[in-house]
Amino acid sequence: MLTLDDLRQFGANIQEGLDRCMSDEGFYLELVGMTLEDASFDRLSQAVAADDRKAAFEAAHALKGIVANVSLTPLYAQVSEMTELLRGGQEADYGAYLARILEMRADLLARQNG
């Protein structure tokens, strides 16, 4: 089960996340769990694999908001950077960004399911 200590070690801004959840730790952890299961991760993966930058931007933008709401700061930083590159239509190794994002997600999922 994912704990606040796990999230602290990950680098999440626990206090900010808890503040959004009126200090309800159980609710916060539930929201984090839901975030990690969000379909935007799959949509982003599919869009990057298809080299569909418009769809990738839409998925990354949605994901940016989702991870920001639960203050998963390191994940937010990666998704945010990718979102802004996609917004500007810049050439980039989006596969590398996606790999880092999915690695962070996998780390948290492993702790959650551990």
Distance CA 4, CA 14 (A): 7
> 31-74 pLDDT, tens per residue?
999 999 999 999 999 999 999 999 999 999 999 999 999 999 99
Question: How would residue 14 be classed by pLDDT, with cut points 50, 70 and 90?
Answer: very high
The rounded Cα 108 to chain-centroid distance in angstroms is 10
| Assigned token pair, 17 | 């996340």
The domain total for the chain is 1
CB neighbours of residue 80 within 10 Å: 16
Instruction: Print the domain residue range for 27.
Output: 4-113
The reported pLDDT for the residue numbered 114 is: 79
CB neighbours of residue 98 within 10 Å: 21
Distance CA 13, CA 88 (A): 28
Whole-structure pTM value: 0.94
Tell me: pLDDT of 96 over 90.
yes
> 65-78 pLDDT, tens per residue?
999 999 999 999 99
The reported pLDDT for the residue numbered 32 is: 97
| Assigned token pair, 45 | 């993966």
Tell me: pLDDT of 89 over 90.
no
- Name 54's Cβ contacts closer than 8 Å, sequence gap at least 6: none
What are residue 39's phi and psi, to 5 degrees? -65, -15
Asked if residue 59 lies in contact with residue 44, where contact means CB atoms within 8 angstroms, the answer is yes
**CATH number of the domain that residue 70 is part of:** 1.20.120
Tell me: pLDDT of 28 over 90.
yes
